[in-house]
Chain A
Amino acid sequence: MNKVNPLLRHAALLAGAAFMVLPFAVMLSTSLKSQADIFAGGFSFLPGEWAAASNYVTVFTKLPMLDFLINGVLVTTAIFCIQLIVAVPCAYALAKFRFAGRKALFNAVLWCLLIPPQAVAIPVFMELYSIGQLNSYTALILPWTISVLGIFLLRQFFMTIPDDIVDAARIDGMGELSILLRVVMPMAMPALTAFGILSFIAHWNDFFWPLICLQDVRYFTPPLGIFYFKTEDAGISYGPLMAAACVITVPLLAVFWAARNKFIQGVSMQAGIK
């Protein structure tokens, strides 16, 4: 493609980029406008009448937005921590041990990769119902504590760690768990980061499952919170709604910008390309 005029190329790329950024710009600008300004006939990017303060204050006073954010952080963190505790040892066993049943276990992991989360919603709903844990943090966290994608990614990465290093650690006197914690985990940081990023994106954004298992606003995560806000409000106070969207989206985007290369690497790793 290097024979294409560079100016033309940049023009095309900039046009595409503008389209990508457009909704974010609309979100930001509208979150700063007063209700009157929004409805004062026709859209404009620059606010005519500023109401940033009142919009953002509304988000945190009329709505338990802070609780939503705390719930989101709490749930995603808990999910990822437990996923790690479950997936790392299993991936390590799959990658570095020879044992009867290893092949069957790995096949099971591959088969489980096929199961879309919506498909297990009904039985999992019933399981949680039967132990009386619907509408709770348990309901939000427990079904996601197993990540077959995590097991798969980590197993692939652990395979690239030379057996010699594990053997050297054994001769140096480390026990199997020390080896996992002191040698394998530090070496697998890129894969662990990728796993963390994929897990975080998936569960911070998840809407389907919280929508099904929650009734109590107390446990709402940000996506459900903003959906609730819109339906309660009949969806016309756009200023505060866009402010709420900003509050949910911007911190995530800020983290993404700060660590964009790690994020993009992590997502690419999913395809097993890098």
Chain B
Amino acid sequence: MASIHMNDISKSFGEVNVLEGINLEIRDGEFLSLLGASGCGKSTLLRIISGLETQSGGSLRIGGRDVTGISPKNRSVSMVFQSYALYPHLTVFQNMAVPLTMRLLSRPQRLPLVGRFIGGTARIKTEIKARVEALAESLDIKHLLDRKPAQLSGGQRQRVALGRAMVREPEVFLMDEPLSNLDTKMRAHMRTELAELHRKLGTTFVYVTHDQEEAMTMSDRVAVMMQGRIMQVDTPRNIYSRPAHLRVAEFIGAPGINILPRTVTSPGVMDVCGVKLSAPSFVRDRGSIGIRPSRLTVTPKADDAWPARVVNVEDLGSSFLVHAVLADDTRTISRLDSRAAIPEVGAAIHLSCRSDSVIHFDADGWNPALHEARQGSRRLETAVRPTREERHALAHAL
């Protein structure tokens, strides 16, 4: 059991900065996902935690111990790889036994032929066998122990890789996109299984993924990463409904959030695509608003509703997606309940949303509401919040 504490971690390969100013505390027993598009630095961060890479700057503590410069072997972490990385020349049993053999047996005891004559070898080997078999039993792969990885299906390999990671009871599990090589059905199944496994073991999980569905369904908290920085760390619900930045809002949710430009015309009033809406006090100047498709509904004509024309309707079975174009050519998507009245393509409609489901973004993309709410708060997440200069730099970079 261990917490992980990262303080100002950075990593560069030559001229390229892959990670910058990473501050993150992962609590003991937490399931935390690092979510981001490929190339955002999430895998590098995971590899730094594992010890496979060394950070260029900053410090890293696992379970209160500074692990900078400590080899992966001595970090009490284990990792599940995207490709599973099973040893192709070893059987399932041997694969799962490797972490124990390497730790429990001394170097001379590991020697072929000679090793068995050194005192204690036989006893330790019996123990290893018992532990591997017990674990295999619980993972339901006991009947596969004599096979080679090439003879297993994707799902079975996945379980073996999990087993190899679990067998030595590490304090932290690291997972690098472990489900992305499985088919859709198997992936959904393993998602549930991983979440249950986490509850059962109560160990810290750090899970890297580019798949928001995986991150949102399994995690206690999600850290959204972009271009080597953490943009927001929060619960899945908050990430969805209270994104800290426009880019986070756009990244999360399918179909994507509707973004409409807005201008504050007078105190408490803003203009959004030709419609006047009330604006909260912290919203100033120009910026944009975000409305989730499920919150943008078809209504009768009203002052706070946008006139629009339907250009396409998609039937998803349980709901409909209505694609529409506003008067100023802005495109929108609304998700309508299948029981609602569905407009036809070409129909003139009106769209509106409740003011409490509007998400505000400043011109630089940050969410001012979150900033107000967190002012003065000492929660760690706010440490992620960049300074004014950094906000500028970031907005520029993004």
Q: Are B73 and A173 in contact (CB under 8 A)?
A: yes
Check A171/B52 contact, CB under 8 A, given A164-B81, A164-B82. yes
Residues of chain A in range 189-218 having any CB-CB distance to chain B below 8 Å: none
Q: Are B103 and A183 in contact (CB under 8 A)?
A: no
B89 interfacial contact with A, CB 8 Å: yes
Q: Hey, which chain B residues are within 8 Å of A183, CB to CB? A: 87
Residues of chain A in range 119-177 having any CB-CB distance to chain B below 8 Å: 162, 164-165, 167-174
Q: Hey, which chain A residues are within 8 Å of B85, CB to CB? A: 162, 164-165, 167-168
Q: Are A167 and B103 in contact (CB under 8 A)?
A: no
| Of A162, A164, A172, A187, the contact of B98 (CB 8 Å cutoff) | A172
Assembled-state Cα–Cα distance A239/B89 (Å):
50
Assembled-state Cα–Cα distance A133/B81 (Å):
53
Q: Are B73 and A187 in contact (CB under 8 A)?
A: no
Interface residues on A, range: 10 to 19
Q: Hey, which chain B residues are within 8 Å of A165, CB to CB? A: 83, 85-87
B50: nearest chain-A partner, CB-CB: A171
A186 interfacial contact with B, CB 8 Å: yes
Assembled-state Cα–Cα distance A218/B338 (Å):
95
Q: Hey, which chain A residues are within 8 Å of B79, CB to CB? A: 167-168, 171
B288 interfacial contact with A, CB 8 Å: no
**From DSSP, what is the main secondary structure of chain A's interface residues?**
helix
| Of A167, A171, A187, the contact of B88 (CB 8 Å cutoff) | A187
Check A167/B52 contact, CB under 8 A, given A172-B102, A172-B164, A173-B99. yes
Check A174/B102 contact, CB under 8 A, given A164-B82, A167-B52, A167-B81. yes
Q: Are A173 and B102 in contact (CB under 8 A)?
A: yes
Assembled-state Cα–Cα distance A165/B82 (Å):
11
Q: Are B83 and A162 in contact (CB under 8 A)?
A: yes
CB distance from A192 to the nearest CB of B (A): 13
Give chain B's interface residues, CB within 8 Å of chain A.
47, 50-52, 71-73, 77-79, 81-89, 98-99, 102-103, 164
- The contact sample of 17 A-B pairs, CB cut-off 8 A, is A164-B81, A164-B83, A164-B84, A165-B85, A167-B47, A167-B81, A167-B85, A168-B81, A169-B87, A170-B51, A170-B72, A171-B52, A171-B77, A171-B79, A172-B73, A172-B98, A173-B72
